[in-house]
Amino acid sequence: MNENTEPSLNIYLIGGNSVIGKSILRGVLKKYENFSLKITSFVRSEFQEKTVGEKITVNNYLECLDHINSKSSCKEVPNIYIISFGVLVEEKNSENFLNNLNYHLDINTFQSFEIFKFLLKLDKTKEIHIVSSVLGDFIRPSLYSYSFSKNLLELLISNIDLKKNLKNKYFVWKPAFVDSKLNKNRSASFIKTNPEKITNLVLNTNKSGSYYIPKYAVFFTLIAKYTTPLIKFIDKKN
């Protein structure tokens, strides 16, 4: 395609060190491969893994909103946003349950949701991708704070009139266990996925909504909601 006629698109990855976030990004890049793409990755810390596009380091991901707002207001180019940051601390590794719960709620729920709401208001928003988890569907005792924070995030999102605000261009991704820094030193659960599967689902999904990765995980979560003893047993085994 001629460079002068090639449509442009900005992609912002909020959580540039995230394995899941970069997997979503690869799917978006493949979907819009005929566009002239500018990628910006926001990170909080430095890792050996290479970030994609321009890297901007922040202390708090809420800081990225000023940057996005300034860029959005000066160019007539649509934007795609990927919100993929979070924390996961098992209850056994926390000295205080309430402090751990507050830590997860602050980052996984309220910061993520505040960014999501802000992006909804921008005129040039083309798509928003936000990462939740299959654990948002039920409470796993050893990961109570993490599970609850993801559950509340999805509840807050569900109470927004997304069809009115985003015209069916939002995607909530709910992956199972992924081998990543977030899950370091944790045993994989029997339902898991990988970056390639995430990328392929993003590439082949055009309708807004919530998506389990793998897709069959939805059946397990339905069972898990009503079988607390089974969840406790699996939790103990892991």
| Sequential pLDDT tens for the chain (238 residues) | 445 567 899 999 999 999 999 999 999 999 999 999 999 999 997 765 678 899 999 999 999 999 998 876 666 889 999 999 999 999 887 789 999 999 999 999 999 999 999 998 888 889 999 999 999 998 888 899 999 999 999 999 998 876 565 666 899 999 998 988 776 766 667 689 999 999 999 999 999 999 999 999 998 888 877 666 555 556 565 5
Of 64, 158, 173, 174, nearest in space to 119 by CA: 64
pTM of the model: 0.89
φ/ψ of 13, rounded to 5, equals: -105, 110
Both tokens of 163, joined, read 């069809």
Q: Which domains are assigned to the chain?
A: 8-237 (3.40.50.720)
Both tokens of 35, joined, read 């566009």
| Residue showing tokens 């050893």 | 142
